[in-house]
């Protein structure tokens, strides 16, 4: 993760949680009170967000020593120690909730992504995410997808063109939409076109799209569309695909399968901070 963006986000989150003062911790414990704690996995999963611990505590005025015991992408077993923490008790407790909130959510995304990758069991097709992320948490959730063995789709509307059904309807055709984009963007901007029918597929190929997405198509349709698509065009399947039917797409030979569930339907991993 980008360190500057990470620090800025954490500052926002701490400000939201702490406000002017952690009334509980700062009134019970003075600055001289020191203690030790561990961050521990309460269930099996995949770790993501280890930098949040060290960077988060580094933002506090009082120094907290953090010793990391795991790395992002590591498999966690219930009882594993993720990090050891030593420092002022008040500071340890003040930073606990924000840090755990992010660590739990990111590890939940990584765990779900890893499950999807293992279910697909493909040497060719890659699992990737979508823009269906939690507002404010996109950089964290997309990073977590990578920790789980997945890949990232575009990060926002700014870093790639995706021509969807409504774009096509307003533009009049796929050809018109792609032509407008080609005339107004540079050669570094890739163009993806979303299609549903074979006729639309052939039009997207004629328009020389860089990526073609097969939207809400069956495994049989996806396999057929992949065969019709020139090898230099990247293919993607999306819509109506979940853990229950992901394995059905194993032999379609599509390049990517994008799953919104990775960042909107994950379960946070159970991780706690315990006094040592």
Whether the Cβ atoms of residue 206 and residue 187 lie closer than 8 Å to each other: no
The catalytic residue among 5, 8, 78, 164 is: 164
Q: Note if 72 is an active site residue.
A: no
Q: Note if 132 is an active site residue.
A: yes
The catalytic residue among 141, 192, 194, 236 is: 194
Q: Pairing relation of β-strands 126-128 and 256-258?
A: parallel
Q: Note if 215 is an active site residue.
A: yes
Annotate 103-125 with b (16+ C-beta within 10 A) or e (fewer).
Answer: bbbbbbbbbbbbbbbebbebeeb
Rounded Cα distance, 17 and 57, in Å: 14
Tokens of 38: 């561990």
* Among 49, 54, 56, 81, CA closest to 65: 54
Q: Note if 97 is an active site residue.
A: yes
The catalytic residue among 34, 42, 69, 132 is: 132
Backbone angles phi, psi at 25, to 5 degrees: -70, -40
The catalytic residue among 34, 97, 179, 250 is: 97
The DSSP symbol for 74 reads P
CA distances from 208 to 4, 178, 191, 202 (A): 38, 8, 9, 10
The catalytic residue among 43, 215, 248, 270 is: 215
Q: Note if 164 is an active site residue.
A: yes
State the catalytic residues: 97, 132, 164, 194, 215
């Amino acid at each position: 993760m980008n360190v500057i963006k990470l620090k800025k986000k954490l500052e926002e989150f701490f400000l939201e949680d702490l406000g002017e003062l952690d009334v509980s911790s700062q009134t019970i414990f003075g600055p001289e009170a020191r203690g030790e704690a561990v961050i521990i996995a309460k269930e099996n999963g995949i770790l993501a967000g280890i930098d949040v611990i060290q960077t988060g505590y580094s933002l506090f005025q009082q120094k907290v020593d953090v010793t990391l015991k795991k790395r992002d992408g590591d498999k966690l077993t219930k009882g594993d120690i993720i990090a050891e923490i030593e420092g002022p008790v008040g500071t340890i407790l003040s930073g606990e909730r924000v840090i755990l909130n992010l660590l739990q959510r990111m590890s939940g995304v990584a765990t779900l992504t890893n499950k999807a990758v293992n279910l697909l069991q493909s040497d060719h097709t890659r699992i990737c995410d979508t823009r269906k992320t939690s507002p404010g948490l996109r950089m964290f959730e997309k990073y977590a997808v990578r920790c789980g063995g997945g890949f990232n789709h575009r990060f926002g509307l700014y870093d790639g063109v995706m021509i969807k059904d409504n774009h096509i309807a307003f533009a009049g055709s796929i050809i018109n939409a792609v032509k407008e984009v080609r005339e107004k963007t540079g050669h570094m901007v890739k163009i993806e076109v979303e299609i549903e029918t074979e006729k639309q597929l052939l039009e997207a190929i004629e328009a020389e799209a860089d990526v073609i997405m097969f939207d809400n198509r069956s495994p049989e349709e996806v396999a057929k569309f992949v065969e019709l698509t020139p090898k230099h065009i990247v293919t993607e399947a999306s819509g109506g695909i979940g853990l229950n039917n992901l394995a059905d797409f194993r032999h379609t030979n599509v390049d990517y399968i994008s799953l919104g569930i990775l960042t909107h339907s994950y379960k946070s991993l159970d991780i706690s901070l315990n006094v040592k």
